[in-house]
Amino acid sequence: MARTELDHVTKVYAESAGSDVVAVDDVSIDVADGEFLVLVGPSGCGKSTTLRMVAGLETVTEGEIRLDGRVINDVPAKDRDIAMVFQSYALYPHMTVRENMSFGLEESTDMPDDEIRERVERTAETMDIGDLLDRTPGELSGGQQQRVALGRAIVRDPAVFLLDEPLSNLDAKLRGEMRTELQRLQDELDVTTIYVTHDQTEAMTMGDRIAILDGGRLQQVGTPLECYHEPRNLFVAGFVGEPPMNFFEVNLTDGALVGANFEYPLSEATLADVRGHDELVLGIRPEDVELVVGDESRSSGGAETGHDFRTTVDVVEPLGNENQVHLRFVRGDGADEQGGRGGATAEGERTEANAEELVATVSGMRQVEPRQDVVARIPEDAIQLFDRETGEALHNRELESAEVAEPNP
């Protein structure tokens, strides 16, 4: 168990052509003792390189990696007391499961043979692979190999546990099970764990905290809910969450956001946040979009604020528990923008002008048919605003509503 710190870590690959490739750019993360940190990002974002630097499989170009305060930049991989689970499992094919699991203890400790044997058997029982000990990896299924790979890392009782996309070769059902099991194991063992994945669902469900990387740069470190509700920038907002957040390019004119298909008036409080920025991106999570039918919209206050928009249902994706509804804005005929705003821009254009669509998630019990006309309400307390140039978040959804979403009051 150990605290792991990455302090302004940079990795540059010198290409033979003379051009350097910066794989990891000035990343600082402090992983507390016993914490489960998930490094997540799209492929090629530098997450695996970061993990490999912690493992000692890659050199660090700049910055420091510390384990319990000790700088380990120059400590060879074999002396770091770190165990790693690889995406391909990397089991030793000529050894039995028992030998695979004993190997690390034999090589890195002076432990007597009986003790190694006992420990391997105990770990194998915990991992539910006790009856596989005398088989070779070639005789095991993918899921069993995965367990052996985990067992091999756990049995060594390392200071830090590194996992490089360990679940990506499993089928969806097994992946779900292993996700839960890994969390349980990590909780029991209480070992500092760094977990790399490209799958934001894994990141959200497993991590104590998640660190989001893009293009070698750290975008945000925080708890899953922080990253979900208070994304620091456009990238994080778009990366975290499934289905992803809806984005619309808008310009701030006259106290309202003017997009290709709609106008969205802002309250004074929100305006204060975005002051000085004109070119914005409006973000709204699909589950925050409300669908209101017919007259309901007029009575419930959406009309006055101008946050109701006429849309046509394009596609409905039923998932059982929820429906993902793809909507298209309807324009013209004075049917939209109850507040009467934007009349000048609306005139001349006719219906469904733009490919921009809005995805809303509604309850699975609710009947929504394609081509049905519905009114989509975008509540102002749930919107996120970003600067279009820098991607920086200017206005996050209001905290009260975020807190409501969290289980604890």
Partner 1 sequence: MSEGSNTPGPVDPGARVGEGSDESRESDPSAFTTSSALRRVALYGTVLALVAFYLTPIETGLVTAIKTSEAVRTTLPFLPPGPDGFTVEKWVYAFDALSHGMVNSMLFTIPSTILCAVFGSMAAYGLTLVDWRGQIAVLALFIAGIFIPYQAVIIPLSEFWSIWMNLDERLAFLWALPLLEPHHATILELIVTHTGYGIPICTILFRAQYKTMSWEMIEAARLDGASLWRGYRRIVLPLSVPMFAVVFIFQFTQVWNEFLFSLTIIRSVGDPAASVTLILSGLGEALEGVDFPLRMAGAFIAALPTLVVYVLFADQFAEGVRV
The residues binding partner 1 (CB under 8 A) are: 55-57, 76-80, 82-84, 86-88, 90-94, 103-104, 107-109, 152, 156
User: Shortest gap between Cβ of 93 and partner 1 (angstroms)?
Assistant: 7
**Which CB atom, from 27 or from 55, has the smaller least distance to partner 1?**
55
User: Shortest gap between Cβ of 53 and partner 1 (angstroms)?
Assistant: 13
User: Shortest gap between Cβ of 80 and partner 1 (angstroms)?
Assistant: 8
User: Shortest gap between Cβ of 182 and partner 1 (angstroms)?
Assistant: 18
**Which CB atom, from 56 or from 224, has the smaller least distance to partner 1?**
56
**Which CB atom, from 101 or from 210, has the smaller least distance to partner 1?**
101
**Which CB atom, from 47 or from 397, has the smaller least distance to partner 1?**
47
Instruction: Report yes or no: 273 and 385 within 8 Å, Cβ to Cβ.
Output: yes
**Which CB atom, from 140 or from 393, has the smaller least distance to partner 1?**
140
Sheet holding 4-14, edge to edge: 20-31, 4-14, 62-67, 70-71
**Which CB atom, from 80 or from 310, has the smaller least distance to partner 1?**
80
**Which CB atom, from 72 or from 383, has the smaller least distance to partner 1?**
72
User: Shortest gap between Cβ of 84 and partner 1 (angstroms)?
Assistant: 5
Instruction: Report yes or no: 380 and 270 within 8 Å, Cβ to Cβ.
Output: yes
Instruction: Report yes or no: 290 and 404 within 8 Å, Cβ to Cβ.
Output: no
**Which CB atom, from 92 or from 343, has the smaller least distance to partner 1?**
92
User: Shortest gap between Cβ of 255 and partner 1 (angstroms)?
Assistant: 57
User: Shortest gap between Cβ of 100 and partner 1 (angstroms)?
Assistant: 9
User: Shortest gap between Cβ of 148 and partner 1 (angstroms)?
Assistant: 12
